[in-house]
A = this chain, B = another copy of it.
Amino acid sequence: MTVPGYLAVDSGGSGLRLAVGVPGRAPAAQRESREPVRTGARGIDPAHLMAQLVPLARASAAEAGIGPLETAAVGAAGFATLGDALRAELPGALARELGVRQAVLAADAVTAYVGALGPRPGAVLAAGTGLIAVGTDLTAWRRADGWGHLLGDCGSGAWIGRAGLEAALRAHDGRDGGSAPLLAGAEEQFGPVRDLPGMLYPRSDRPAVLASFAPWVAACAAHDPVAADILRAAARHMAESAAAVCPADGTPHMALTGGLFRLGDPLLVPLGEELAGRLPHARQVPAEGDPLHGSVRIATDLAAGRFTLPGEPAMLCAVPAQGDRDPP
């Protein structure tokens, strides 16, 4: 094949998605793997990422009649804190296996940003099981939170669900701050609360288990003040993170992205109020697309020679791919 194309990748906690296309056009083919890329002591495992990525990319390229995939954009969860091995090894591997000549590696928060707002100054709140805020004035990136369910992710799905279960257990114990509706919800969802610790702690997906209770909290908020307070506090934490990354000047755009916002009004109404109070100069806009859309955008801008987003080791790095090349 001699139609040079791009490769866009979104590697997240629930698997890997990719798209290929011809620069200047929307993706011609997409593929998905439901197996999350392994992380180890050196961070994201580049070999495991490539083992999933290469066959999917080749199949997509063949389907679309595109190749080589000269330009690549890879957004990966854990890149910011765990990505040393990825930065060291992925560019060479992409060059060898897929003919990539130039690549951008980025934190998934960055591809979420670009997917939501494009290359504009602003701030994006990305919230699901976890939560991170990313902002840029187009000269540097800022991030806030994204530290995981024990150190932060304040306002995330895991945070809301955990707070809801704490309120359920407070009601069970007769402690202040308890909520009988949340206790009833916890027992309906998980069974007798006496068995909750034995169910939760041995699992490896504890944040997801906690987050699975967030919809109950939202469902109770209309009639339960404890649940409403939890969502108000989550909204406040989200706004704190957004305020920490949003450019102070001009009219930055501000978007929400991620599955948590499907909780709807019980979260979105207090969040709108908190954001209006803290970031009155920001213009709230709907997210244009998801993180894979952000990777596509980065890849096509890179192919067109108009990629302008700032580089930063823990957020985004643009690299000419090493490896086998045609002799000059």
Report A's interface with B, CB cutoff 8 A: 41, 43, 81-82, 142-145, 147-152, 154, 162, 165-166, 169-170, 173-177, 194-198, 200-202, 206, 210, 240-241, 243-244, 314
Contact = CB atoms under 8 A, between A and B. Distances in A.
A210 B150 contact: yes
A43 B151 contact: no
Nearest to A158: B150
Q: How many copies does the complex hold?
A: 2
A41 B195 CA distance: 11
Contact of A144 (B152, B173, B241): B173
A175 B151 CA distance: 14
Contacts of A244: 173-176
Most buried by B among A152, A162, A174, A244: A152
A109 to B, nearest CB: 13
9 smallest CB-CB distances across A and B, nearest first, come from: A144-B173, A174-B244, A175-B244, A176-B240, A175-B240, A148-B197, A81-B197, A173-B244, A147-B169
5 contacts: A43-B198, A81-B195, A150-B162, A150-B200, A173-B241
Contacts of A145: 169, 173, 175
A144 B175 contact: yes
A142 B240 CA distance: 39
A151 B165 contact: yes
Contacts of A149: 150
A240 B177 contact: yes
A91 B27 CA distance: 68
Contact of A151 (B41, B82, B166): B166
A155 to B, nearest CB: 11
A150 B240 contact: no
Nearest to A145: B173
Contacts of A43: 198
A151 B197 contact: yes
Contact of A200 (B82, B142, B151, B202): B151
Given A150-B206, A175-B240, 14 more contacts: A81-B194, A81-B195, A81-B197, A81-B198, A82-B197, A144-B175, A147-B197, A148-B201, A150-B162, A151-B196, A152-B166, A152-B170, A176-B244, A194-B314
Contacts of A314: 194
B152 A169 contact: yes
Contacts of A175: 144-145, 240-241, 243-244
A328 to B, nearest CB: 39
A41 B199 CA distance: 9
